[in-house]
Structure 1
Amino acid sequence: MQQLNIFSLPLGPGIGDIDQVSKALSKIERHQIQFVCWPEFGYQPDVAFAIAYNGTNILLKYFVEESAITAIHRATNGPVYKDSCVEFFIAFNNEEEYYNLEFNCAGSCHIGFGGERENRIEVPVDLVKQIKYQASFHTGHNSGSDLIKWELSLIIPISVFQFHQFTSFENIWCRINFYKCGDDLPQPHYLSWSKIYSTIPNFHLPEFFGKALFAEDIKINQA
């Protein structure tokens, strides 16, 4: 089972500036989303994430390199998993229920809550829209590569987690997993950070979530 510490990022008054958050997240440790749990879907893009927090916000950035991208589904709480999609699932403490936060490469978001894959409760659109995001794209044509690189930076406020009454993330334990998928891409794929053991693709298996703690401050590499 994967484990990590989610450190506090001391950004001061810049916490609401998505550009500053994106630059800061590029300077901290990255974690690979590397497990291809279903060999029949063997395509493996290069995917990593950096995560931190600052009081009442989760700060998350994905770094992706893949052969094709789409961002067709732009409505909030739409089926963004069909596009070039990254996902973040989190269950607080030892609770069975968890939140699934899903984002396509353009920043469109779907959030649900519940204890299983079916019958999930959608988080209201007005709360989902409180998430700040920044998406960027780069082609590899100048280096002779056909791969597309894209990054997605996110400021996820504590208010999004509407079924919990937290005032801060500090010292909270959680169970988490991170994913990359693209159901309708030319090469469908399903990658996870914490390995899943299932006969068919299914990210909604909290028994395979990793563990994490919202810990104390991290020092940013200024290089």
Structure 2
Amino acid sequence: MILNANLNWTANQGIQLPVVLADVSISADYLDVTFSVEEPESCFRSEVREDNGRSWEDSCVEIFLQNPANPEEYFNFETTSRGYLLAAHGPDRNNRQVLPQELIDKVIRTKQIASVAGNLICWGMNVKIPASLFGLKSFEGLTLRGNLYKCGDKSSTPHYLSAFPIATEKPDFHRPEFFQEF
């Protein structure tokens, strides 16, 4: 699937935007998402150096997932180009609980080292989220709902892309009402 920019958002207007492809697969044990990113140098930022840091400020790909064990909340898994992960859950943007390191370590992250092609930075990330993180034995038979995002809030050229449309006036990824089935 292709992540698209909402061109109604002022932040995405008049700039060269990243190209982001995502491949989603679901097995009994894992939600597996592979992102391939090509972004202009002005969109690329890589400053975060720890899990549960401010990942959205860097070049970041994100998986927001309605909790299959409790549909009243959703999880956000935000991964930088270096593989650092912010993970939290809660019912809305203001009531988030950050996951402890022992749970973050269960999320498998495999990065593709960034390379340069002209004025583009090319990088990739594979993220495998285990069913056990939600207290489930398996994803088998479940419908998973969510959205995928790419952003870089503190890059020289901030930008905001999503797999599924978000009908808001400005960028806002914490909107589970716009989640769709993976």
- TM-score of the aligned structures, taking structure 1 as reference length: 0.74
The offset of 1:166, in angstroms, is 1.1
The offset of 1:38, in angstroms, is 4.3
Aligned counterpart, 1:133: 109
CA distance in 2 between partners of 1:175 and 1:100 (Å) = 12
CA distance in 1 between partners of 2:111 and 2:22 (Å) = 14
Aligned counterpart, 2:80: 104
Unmatched segments (≥5 aa) in structure 1: 1-30, 213-223
CA contact (8 A) 1:77 1:122 kept: yes
Q: 2:90 aligned with 1:90, yes or no?
A: no
CA distances 1:75-123 after superposition (whole Å, capped 9, x unpaired):
1111100000000001145823100110011110011111110020111
Aligned counterpart, 2:137: 167
Aligned counterpart, 1:215: none
Aligned counterpart, 2:146: 176
Q: Which runs of 4+ in 1 moved over 6 A?
A: none
CA contact (8 A) 2:132 2:138 kept: no
Aligned counterpart, 1:71: 46
CA distances 1:123-161 after superposition (whole Å, capped 9, x unpaired):
111110122222122211xxxx21111111122222333
CA contact (8 A) 2:9 2:170 kept: no
CA distance in 1 between partners of 2:61 and 2:47 (Å) = 15
Amino acid at match of 2:175: L
Amino acid at match of 1:210: Q
Q: How many residues align?
A: 175
CA contact (8 A) 1:130 1:160 kept: yes
CA distance in 2 between partners of 1:132 and 1:92 (Å) = 18
Aligned counterpart, 2:3: 33
The offset of 1:181, in angstroms, is 0.3
The offset of 1:199, in angstroms, is 1.8
Aligned counterpart, 1:20: none
CA contact (8 A) 1:86 1:181 kept: yes
> CA-atom RMSD, angstroms?
1.6
CA contact (8 A) 1:37 1:195 kept: no
Q: Name the stretch that deviates more: 64-73 or 187-196.
A: 64-73
CA distance in 2 between partners of 1:207 and 1:59 (Å) = 22
Q: Name the stretch that deviates more: 79-88 or 63-72.
A: 63-72
- TM-score of the aligned structures, taking structure 2 as reference length: 0.89
CA contact (8 A) 1:87 1:102 kept: yes
CA contact (8 A) 1:88 1:179 kept: yes
Larger CA Rg, structure 1 vs 2: 1
SS of 2:102 mapped into structure 1: helix
Q: 2:165 aligned with 1:195, yes or no?
A: yes
CA distance in 2 between partners of 1:105 and 1:52 (Å) = 21
CA distance in 2 between partners of 1:32 and 1:47 (Å) = 6
Aligned counterpart, 1:150: 123
Amino acid at match of 2:3: I
